[in-house]
Amino acid sequence: MTSMPSNVATRPRKSIDGWRWVGRLFLALMLFYTAVPMIWMLITSIKSGFAAMQFPPQWWPNEPTLASYYKLLDPTSSVGNDFLRFFWNSLFVSVSTTILAVIVAVPAAYAFSRFDFPGRKFLFFTVLLRNMFPAVIFLVPLFILMRLLGLVNTHGSLVLTYLTFGLPLAIWLLKGFYDNIPHQLEQAARIDGASRFQAFILIVMPLSAPGIIATAIYSFIGAWNEYIFAYTFLNKNDQLTLPIGIQRFFSENTTDFPGLMAASFMMSVPVVVLFLLLQRYFVRALTEGAVKH
């Protein structure tokens, strides 16, 4: 039996290794592109006002200071009082949106996955249809609706709006995840005397935990970072969320670059930490929800 020439055998291997190095280089460039703004934001936030205005810029301050953070976290100062109020407003809206999104998306996705009812496919694709259009075209109709409901200048208007835009993808993610959970597990629980609801709670829910966590991450990040609808629906200073509060902070403190960077960095930290802690669940939900066994 003739053996394969060594140059033929090694050529595909070298090609694969080459593409791997290209992928690693691309990931390194993307990491550099995303990490450098965060690093520069942090470095600027610990500079004095004079050092932040110098040109050429100081890559590391000669006298680092946390004065900007103390100012933002001091509830007795006007800036700190406003920042903390905006922070808690954003946290309330984001957590409320996340909880409601999970409560609604979990049974909806389970129903699309397990039950066969008239118009099931049409209704499912109708849910996804909303994501085909940019969110800004719904701005005026939603504002009119919120005004008729008396929800303008309330956090309820933001929660309802964020649910409108977050639920389609949340339902799609969870449905794909439920499709990969074998029906036999629920049938075995039903045979042992469990009701459908008990089988769902005891069998399906624990197995779908990564998908639920991914849905929660997606809903929280979307609500935390949203700007356009919050800017349109909220006018009262005590109701503003953090993106709008920082925008006003920028307009009122255009020369306080360390304070601006400290506020921006503190807004970015919760989302980054949340995603880093739970990223494996998010990736698992995307892969398992997209691939059918």
Residue 5: pLDDT over 80: no
Same domain, 83 and 40: no
More confident position, 270 or 128? 270
Q: What is the pLDDT at residue 173?
A: 81
Same domain, 185 and 261: yes
Question: Comparing C-alpha atoms, which of 82, 86, 65 is closest to residue 74?
Answer: 82
Q: What is the pLDDT at residue 33?
A: 85
Domain count, the chain: 2
Same domain, 35 and 83: no
Same domain, 270 and 214: yes
34: containing domain? 6-45
Same domain, 136 and 263: yes
Are 232 and 139 contacting, i.e. CB atoms less than 8 angstroms apart? yes
Same domain, 193 and 107: yes
Arithmetic mean of pLDDT, 54-71 = 79
Same domain, 15 and 92: no
Alpha carbon distance, N-terminus to C-terminus of the chain: 39
* Residue 104 within a domain: yes
More confident position, 250 or 261? 261
Average pLDDT across the chain, whole number:
81
Q: How confident is the model at residue 284 (pLDDT cuts 50, 70, 90)?
A: low
Q: What is the pLDDT at residue 293?
A: 43
Question: Sign of torsion, CA 231 232 237 238?
Answer: negative
- At 99-121, the pLDDT tens digits run 999 999 998 888 888 888 887 78
CATH code of the domain in which 240 resides:
1.10.3720.10
Residue 290: pLDDT over 80: no
Distance, in Å, from the CA atom of 219 to the CA atom of 223, rounded to the nearest integer, reads 6
Distance, in Å, from the CA atom of 168 to the CA atom of 101, rounded to the nearest integer, reads 10
Arithmetic mean of pLDDT, 95-101 = 92
* Residue 1 within a domain: no
Same domain, 181 and 264: yes
Arithmetic mean of pLDDT, 162-184 = 84
Residue 285: pLDDT over 80: no
Same domain, 17 and 100: no
Question: Sign of torsion, CA 149 152 154 160?
Answer: positive
Residue 288: pLDDT over 60: no
Question: Comparing C-alpha atoms, which of 29, 45, 107, 23 is closest to residue 246?
Answer: 45
Same domain, 133 and 251: yes
* Residue 55 within a domain: no
* Residue 129 within a domain: yes
Q: How confident is the model at residue 200 (pLDDT cuts 50, 70, 90)?
A: confident
Residue 250: pLDDT over 80: no
* Residue 116 within a domain: yes
* Residue 11 within a domain: yes
Same domain, 130 and 256: yes
Are 167 and 101 contacting, i.e. CB atoms less than 8 angstroms apart? yes
* Residue 37 within a domain: yes
Same domain, 85 and 33: no
* Residue 60 within a domain: no
Residue 47: pLDDT over 60: yes
